[in-house]
Structure 1
Amino acid sequence: MPVAVYVLGLSVFALGTSEFMLSGLLQPLARDMGVSIPQAGLLVSAFAIGMVVGAPVLAAATLRLPRRTTLVALLAVFGLGQVAGALAPSYGVLFASRVVSALACAGFWAVGAAVAVSLVPVGARARAMAVMIGGLSIANIAGVPAGAFLGQHAGWRAAFWAVAGLSALGLVGVLLLVPATASPTGEDAPRLRKELTIYRDRQVWLALVTTALNAAAVFCLFSYLAPLLTDTAGLKESWVPSVLGLFGVGALIGTTIGGRIADAHLFGTMYLGIAASTVVLALLAVTAHLAAAAVVLAVLLGVTAFMTAPALNARMFNVAGAAPTLAGATTTAAFNIGNTLGPWLGGLVIAAGWGYPAVAWLAAALAALAVGTTAVASRLHHGASRVVARSADGLADASADKAVDASAGAAALPLVQPARGE
């Protein structure tokens, strides 16, 4: 694997830490800014929505720019957004800094994913994406707990400064180790109108919906995992960070497994990962009152959910190969649509008074829908493959028939020529 791919993974570690660290900083941040916990929670939603909007917009806006230059510029803007957040004198300024950071983060994900897959053979795309997604997994294991630790001991602003430092480190790595590419010109230059034609392909939409449903299932439950562990399973609050860290360990294991098998068994990995998540979520709904079962199933959910991620990313690049930048942007947007939709739906279930186990049932239903869309995509894919194979066989048969006709003509020719000579 090229070292540049690992540099991109390091940058994603910084991006992922910033995206998720607020879950451990909401209380001190709310106290310092003089806002309620729900208002502080809107900073998480603002980041997710910024990712949804920013991925396709920035992918389109930077389509003709050199990719390394684009990555450097986006990391610089992201880092400055963290500095602005660390210095924010008011909630409004902090909110704006989160939106700007999210836009830059989305653009980096879209362009960085396209760069990662361009640096490896087609058969190693899932492994390359596993490295990038691994940066996100490690952010959940180390970055988010570290941010919470800094917030408790040095103030929440220290966590923003730390992410700004990580962003600077990633920027240097991109400058030194990601190969420079010249902007294509002439007929090879990317054209937005041409790349937008990928959205005429129903396989692209199926990949988008599957990614969004899978993310919605995972984050529907994960967003409320802490109160499920304390209020339903009966664990003490002091256990919650440890369980969240174990979820991150499971996510890293799942990403590693998925990256190794997805290139050779793309649909098999999608089926296995999403179906396993469905089963885990259903079991969690049934056994949520048992502390040991809840902890074990939370770890298993990290494994199954993130095992699917490399395959989902690789699938989008496969069906949108003519538009790699928009493929990365579409995957990023789909993931964050699910990241926004899942917690919202889970919140509706809780507000209805159905309890946290009902959230797990809802998450299982969303995952089951993702299995269904995977089945439809697989059937269309294999149906198209059979049509291509039959067409190739038809061409081969036609060529063989022509060869037979030519042979017959050649064999008959000597019989005709003597007659003409007479």
Structure 2
Amino acid sequence: MPVAVYILGLSIFAQGTSELMLAGLLTEMAGDLGVSVPQTGLLISAFALGMLVGAPILAIVTLRWPRRTALLAFLAVFAAAHVVGALTSDYWVLFATRFVAAFVYAGFWSVAAATAVGLVAENARGRAMSVVAGGLTVATIIGLPAGTVIGQHLGWRAAFWTVALLSLLAMVGVLAKVPEGRPTGTPRVRNEVRALATAPVWLLFGTTTLATAALLVSFSYLGALLTDTTRLAEAGVPLVLGIYGLGALLGIMLGGRVADAHPLRTVTVGITGLTVTSALLALTAEHLVPVVALVFLLGAFGFGTNPVLNSRVFTLAPQASTLGAAGNVAAFNVGITAGPWLGGLAIGAGWGYSSVAWIGAALGITALAVVAWSHTVTRPAVASPEIRGSERVAEPARLS
């Protein structure tokens, strides 16, 4: 695997730490800024909104830019946004910096994904994306607790300064190891959009959204479920979340190893495992031992599909590498937004924290139906005489 791919993964770690760390800093930030905790929580929503709109817009704006130039520009703006955030005492200025940081983070994801798959052979795309996306997994395991500890001991502004420094270090790595990647020919937005306008691509995006929502609806309320329903002491919650992170790391590593050779099987097994795990979590939510084991499996199955969901669009629409990656980012963030929202509705209706796991199972079943639909849509192409004898040629016609 080229060193540049690992540099991109480390860059995602730096930025992903910022995405996650606010979860452990909300109370302190609320007190310092003079606003309520729910209002401070809207800073997380600002980040999600920035990610959602930033991916397609920046993918189009930078379509003809050298990829290294785009990556460096995104990191520079990301670092600057955190410097401003660390210096301000105005809530709305901080809100704006969260949106801007997420906006360019989404652009970085899109260009980094296209760059990573362009640096490796076709049969290594899934592994490359497991390294890049693994940066966010490491941020879950290391960045989130480290950011929380820094914030608790040195203040939340110190956590922002740390992210800015990590982003600058990532810029050094990108400058040193990532190729310039000048576009060949003249990329046209119309051509990329046309390449994406196929049923398999949109069914892939739908699968990504549903699978992500199925995972996030449970994960978003996991801490509350552990303390309220499982009756775990608050001090034990970080340990269980760490177990989830270990499962996620194992899942993305294994998923990356088999994604290129068995994409359909990887997605089917991963989403099936996520669905069954969610249902079992709902049934055993009051019992600590099974919950801990299921939390590990939740991370493993949930992240095991990530390499395929991130890399498959480059096979289905090779002419749309940049906008395809942007579509992936948007699909993931729709799921990240929709899952917690659905869980919040269920909890607000008085259904209890176990209900979020049932919602996760229902979303998982729906995702499996979309995978089956995609396979049905593309089956005639797979069965045609020209490609019946070659799995390698038939494979790109499938969703995953």
Give the shorter-chain TM-score range: over 0.9
In structure 1, how many angstroms separate the alpha carbons of the residues matched to 2:306 and 2:66?
A: 27
Q: Which residue number corresponds to residue 176 of structure 1?
A: 176
Deviation of 1:315 after TM superposition, in Å, equals 1.5
In structure 2, how many angstroms separate the alpha carbons of the residues matched to 1:54 and 1:182?
A: 22
Q: Which runs of 5+ in 2 are unaligned?
A: 391-400
SS in 2 for 1:389: coil
In structure 2, how many angstroms separate the alpha carbons of the residues matched to 1:135 and 1:100?
A: 21
Match status 1:285 vs 2:282: yes
Superposed CA deviations along residues 318-344 of structure 1, whole A, max 9, x for unmatched, are 112110001110101100110001000
Q: Per the alignment, do residues 392 and 230 of structure 1 end up closer, same or farther by CA in structure 2, a change over 3 Å counting?
A: closer
In structure 1, how many angstroms separate the alpha carbons of the residues matched to 2:113 and 2:183?
A: 17
Q: Is the 8 A contact 2:258 2:266 kept in 1?
A: yes
Superposed CA deviations along residues 160-187 of structure 1, whole A, max 9, x for unmatched, are 1111111011100000000112343xxx
Equivalent of 1:232, from 220, 229, 233?
229
In structure 1, how many angstroms separate the alpha carbons of the residues matched to 2:340 and 2:226?
A: 16
Q: Which residue number corresponds to residue 381 of structure 2?
A: 384
SS in 1 for 2:166: helix
In structure 1, how many angstroms separate the alpha carbons of the residues matched to 2:262 and 2:275?
A: 20
In structure 2, how many angstroms separate the alpha carbons of the residues matched to 1:82 and 1:183?
A: 30
Superposed CA deviations along residues 89-120 of structure 1, whole A, max 9, x for unmatched, are 11101100000000110000000000000000
Q: Is the 8 A contact 2:281 2:294 kept in 1?
A: yes
In structure 2, how many angstroms separate the alpha carbons of the residues matched to 1:328 and 1:220?
A: 24
Farther off after superposition, 380-389 or 328-337: 380-389
Match for 2:303: what amino acid?
F
Q: Which residue number corresponds to residue 47 of structure 1?
A: 47
Q: Is the 8 A contact 2:50 2:99 kept in 1?
A: yes
Superposed CA deviations along residues 364-387 of structure 1, whole A, max 9, x for unmatched, are 101111111111122333332223
Match for 1:262: what amino acid?
A
In structure 2, how many angstroms separate the alpha carbons of the residues matched to 1:388 and 1:345?
A: 45
SS in 1 for 2:290: helix
Superposed CA deviations along residues 284-338 of structure 1, whole A, max 9, x for unmatched, are 0000000121121111100000000001112222112110001110101100110
In structure 2, how many angstroms separate the alpha carbons of the residues matched to 1:242 and 1:388?
A: 55
Match status 1:371 vs 2:368: yes
Note the aligned Cα RMSD (angstroms).
Answer: 1.4
In structure 2, how many angstroms separate the alpha carbons of the residues matched to 1:178 and 1:55?
A: 20
Farther off after superposition, 334-343 or 376-385: 376-385
Match status 1:218 vs 2:215: yes
Deviation of 1:392 after TM superposition, in Å, equals 9.8
Matched positions, count: 390
Q: Which residue number corresponds to residue 106 of structure 1?
A: 106
In structure 2, how many angstroms separate the alpha carbons of the residues matched to 1:392 and 1:113?
A: 31
Superposed CA deviations along residues 182-223 of structure 1, whole A, max 9, x for unmatched, are 343xxx211011111133201111011100011111111111
Deviation of 1:243 after TM superposition, in Å, equals 1.3
Deviation of 1:40 after TM superposition, in Å, equals 1.1
Equivalent of 2:241, from 231, 240, 244?
244
Q: Which residue number corresponds to residue 125 of structure 1?
A: 125
Q: Is the 8 A contact 2:196 2:324 kept in 1?
A: no
Deviation of 1:390 after TM superposition, in Å, equals 6.6
In structure 1, how many angstroms separate the alpha carbons of the residues matched to 2:66 and 2:47?
A: 26
Q: Which residue number corresponds to residue 151 of structure 1?
A: 151
Q: Is the 8 A contact 2:259 2:308 kept in 1?
A: yes
Q: Which residue number corresponds to residue 355 of structure 1?
A: 352
Structure 1 runs of 4+ with >2 Å offset = 181-184, 378-383, 387-393
Q: Which residue number corresponds to residue 92 of structure 2?
A: 92
Q: Is the 8 A contact 2:196 2:320 kept in 1?
A: no
In structure 2, how many angstroms separate the alpha carbons of the residues matched to 1:49 and 1:19?
A: 12
Match for 1:225: what amino acid?
L
In structure 2, how many angstroms separate the alpha carbons of the residues matched to 1:310 and 1:180?
A: 24
Q: Per the alignment, do residues 392 and 291 of structure 1 end up closer, same or farther by CA in structure 2, a change over 3 Å counting?
A: closer
Q: Which residue number corresponds to residue 32 of structure 1?
A: 32
Match for 2:23: what amino acid?
S
In structure 2, how many angstroms separate the alpha carbons of the residues matched to 1:391 and 1:363?
A: 37
Equivalent of 2:252, from 252, 255, 267?
255
Q: Which residue number corresponds to residue 295 of structure 2?
A: 298
Q: Which residue number corresponds to residue 18 of structure 2?
A: 18
Identity %: 54
In structure 2, how many angstroms separate the alpha carbons of the residues matched to 1:195 and 1:70?
A: 18
SS in 1 for 2:96: helix
In structure 1, how many angstroms separate the alpha carbons of the residues matched to 2:312 and 2:379?
A: 14
Give 1:70-85 correspondences, 5 Å limit.
70-85=70-85
Q: Which residue number corresponds to residue 56 of structure 1?
A: 56
SS in 2 for 1:203: helix
In structure 1, how many angstroms separate the alpha carbons of the residues matched to 2:196 and 2:238?
A: 41
SS in 2 for 1:234: coil
Deviation of 1:136 after TM superposition, in Å, equals 0.6
Q: Which runs of 5+ in 1 are unaligned?
A: 394-422
In structure 2, how many angstroms separate the alpha carbons of the residues matched to 1:390 and 1:139?
A: 42
In structure 2, how many angstroms separate the alpha carbons of the residues matched to 1:64 and 1:376?
A: 35
Q: Per the alignment, do residues 29 and 380 of structure 1 end up closer, same or farther by CA in structure 2, a change over 3 Å counting?
A: same
In structure 2, how many angstroms separate the alpha carbons of the residues matched to 1:276 and 1:215?
A: 13
Match for 1:256: what amino acid?
M
